Structure 1
Amino acid sequence: MLSFAEQMLLWSMRIWVVGLQKRIPVGEKLHEAYSRAGAPRAVGLVDNLMVVVGHGAIRQLDINCPCQKGLSEDERRILDLAALYQGGASLEGPLLLHSMLTETACRAAGGILRDIGRVFSDAGMVFPPVDIPPERAFGHSREATLHAGSATLH
């Protein structure tokens, strides 16, 4: 079961992708949800993160629609990244980012994830700690990396 922090970030990512693909404004919905959670500043940070991820992906990332119950591997990675950066971003954080993003996007995403961690923490939303095995931190195969693109829906 996902923590509240994980549920909020996952829902936000999925809603953001739906808004982008269907050209539906979702900012107000996100702002309302984060205001209720005591973290209205998170809206801009999540938006920035998704823009960086969308433009800096080295392969097509799998972000499901909100109706999906399970997590894609990429969604799990982003949630793990949020936990790692909230907890101080050890070596695994940057390695995991490099499995998904270009060098420039990694630098930007790391800073944004650190800020998301602070804002979430200030609102009492704490990501559960994660332990990333080294082989997982290095990410997908070379073949998967060759299929760069933007986020997809089911």
Structure 2
Amino acid sequence: MRPDPFSENHLNHCGPVGLADGERILLWMLRQWVTARVLGEEPGQRLSKKAGALVSARVATAFILMMSAIEGQVRRPLCVSAPCCKGYADDEQRLITACGVCPASPEIAGRLIEGLVITPESVTVMARFLNAALANDGMALPMRFDEPEVSASQTRPPTLQ
């Protein structure tokens, strides 16, 4: 039987080099959410089972609330990288960056996600709550206002839609 590529053991291999712990956790949880949808599972239950050893109940709840808000008003399917991909799909980067910048600039956070959802204000409120929950657990998100450097050897990752 093959190991689950979204298990806690694969967290360190999730996403590009240079992500902060909080960013890597968010990316891992986002990919867990998408995996659950693809497999026909309830994402909240999957996260509750798999994330318990990694994050507090507060972080998991905040993430579930944010994703529920996104799904309730999504404009188009989110583009999310394949399991354990070292890359960072555009939608993943937008959501995680929005979570990081929302305490300093809800306007920038809203602009980052306005193409993904109908009313970015409600998602921005959830992202701010998620940011605070991560900070409370010692995994504060950096406020990145620029895009990470990508080496010329990296190619676009396969995505799930």
What TM bracket, shorter-length normalisation?
0.7 to 0.9
Match of 2:118 in 1: 102
Amino acid at match of 1:20: R
Q: What corresponds to 2:145 in structure 1?
A: 131
Cα deviation 1:104-132 (Å, max 9, x = unaligned)? xx122111101101100000101122115
Instruction: Using structure 2 for the length normalisation, give the TM-score.
Output: 0.71
Equivalent in the alignment of 2:95: 78
When structure 1 is superposed on structure 2, of 89-98 and 66-75 the one drifting more is 89-98
Matches within 5 A, 1:1-154: 1-25=18-42, 27=44, 30-31=47-48, 34-85=51-102, 87-103=103-119, 106-132=120-146, 153=160
Could you report, residue by residue, the CA deviation over 1:25-70 in whole angstroms, capped at 9, with x for unpaired residues? Answer: 5545533665434522111221222222223222332012323220
Identity value in percent: 21
State the Cα deviation string for residues 72-125 of structure 1 (Å, max 9, x = none). 01101111001012x33343112222122102xx12211110110110000010
Gaps of 5+ in 2: 1-17, 148-158
**AA of the residue aligned to 1:130:** R
Aligned residues: 133
Q: Distance in 1 between matches of 2:41 and 2:62?
A: 19
TM-score (norm 1): 0.73
Query: How many Å separate the matches in 2 of 1:59 and 1:6?
Result: 23
| Runs (5+) with no aligned partner, structure 1 | 134-151
| Greater RCO, CA 8 A, separation 6+ | 1
Higher helix content, 1 or 2? 1
Partners of 1:37 and 1:123 within 8 A in 2: no
Amino acid at match of 1:153: L
CA RMSD in angstroms comes to 2.3
**Do the aligned partners of 1:81 and 1:96 also contact (CA within 8 Å) in 2?**
yes
Could you tell me how far apart the structure 2 residues matched to 1:30 and 1:153 are?
19
